[in-house]
Amino acid sequence: MNRFLILMLLTTSSVMAQSVDSTTTPTIPPKSSYKFGWSAEIGITYAITSLPNVRSFFESNRIKSQGSLEPFIHFGVSARYQRLKLTAQVGINYSHLNVPRDEDSVVARLVKAGYTGLLIGFDVVNGRNRRLYINAGVGGIGYEYSVYRRTRQAVAAQSLPQYSQPGNVPSLFLNNGYWDVNLDYVLREKRPLSFLTAVRIGYRRALQREVWQSDAFQLIGGPSDRISQFYFQTVFGFSTNYLKNSQR
């Protein structure tokens, strides 16, 4: 009888020690649900830029210029409230570091180019690890070229202010307002301070056609363009998140 009681106690203890059925315990942690947050990012944008009329002007005058695929350094700051996001962005073109260097040729050198913008987005896919936003907004974009002939001609520095070379155009610039729309696939915030990665594909287009201008001349009959860009963007950064909700 004593042996029977001991056997019963051992069997009962082993059963009580077993974990609850795995089907009733979630093995995947729930997605994070921070109510709002801030983020800062830096990245690279590759844009295919359409400037057909000024590039046609360069080609017709045998002026060499950079190609249409252009890199930008991108900076952004965002504020998020639940599934809405507001983003301010700035991009600076650095393709002027790659200038055509053929001797005795007329070259259109990109002096500067860049964009600024403000976008609002909504995450149409709100997953455990990723969010997919659709963003739309407006901003401004500008380009400036300098046209000059590259030669080995020796010129005294003191005579540069009086020196005039045929074919030179010191400045040729265009500024456009634009609208912008993109898809933004971003790593979901997990902690109060989280690492951020995102990839974006988008399109921006000028609101209207504008005429190219020059600081040096009052141009008459200059080419006009409506800047447009298809772009791909990768960014890295961090986010700070607050007020975690119990439910979403």
Terminal-residue alpha carbon distance, the chain: 58
Residue 115 lies in a domain: yes
Q: Give helix then strand counts, H and E, for the chain.
A: 2, 11
For every residue of 100-144, DSSP letters joined together read ---TTEEEEEEEEEEEEEEEEEEEEEE-SSEEEEEEEEEEEEEEE
The stretch 144-173 carries a mean pLDDT of: 82
Residue 144: partners with Cβ closer than 8 Å, 6 or more residues away:
110, 111, 112, 113, 171, 172, 173, 174
Query: What pLDDT, on the 0 to 100 scale, is given for residue 19?
Result: 47
Whole-angstrom Cα distance, residue 91 to residue 44? Answer: 9
Q: Is residue 8 part of a domain?
A: no
Residue 98 has pLDDT above 80, yes or no: no
22 is a domain residue: no
Contact call for residues 135 and 87 (beta carbons, < 8 A):
yes
Is residue 156 pLDDT above 90, yes or no?
A: no
Structural domain includes residue 26: no
Identify the band that residue 245 occupies on the pLDDT scale cut at 50, 70 and 90. Answer: low
Whole-number pLDDT of residue 104: 64
10, part of any domain: no
- Determine, yes or no, domain membership for 20: no
Angstrom CA distances, 149 to 24, 65, 109, 153, 166, stand at 77, 12, 10, 10, 8
Work out the pLDDT band at 16, boundaries 50, 70, 90: very low
Q: What is the DSSP letter of 180?
A: E
Mean pLDDT of the 164-182 span: 89
The CATH number of residue 88's host domain is 2.40.160.20
Amino acid 2: pLDDT: 53
Residue type, 48: I
Write down the pTM of the prediction. Answer: 0.81
Containing domain of residue 214, as a range?
32-244
Under the banding of pLDDT at 50, 70 and 90, the label for residue 164 is confident
Length of the chain equals 248
18 located within any domain = no
β-strands 34-50, 228-244 pairing: antiparallel
Nearest of 123, 125, 99 to residue 111 by alpha carbon: 99
Q: What is the pLDDT of residue 22?
A: 44
- For the chain, the domain total comes to 1
Q: What does the alpha-carbon distance between residue 181 and residue 187 come to, in Å, rounded to a whole number?
A: 20
C-alpha 139 chain-centroid distance:
13
Residue 112 belongs to some domain of the structure: yes
What average pLDDT does this structure show over 217-229?
91
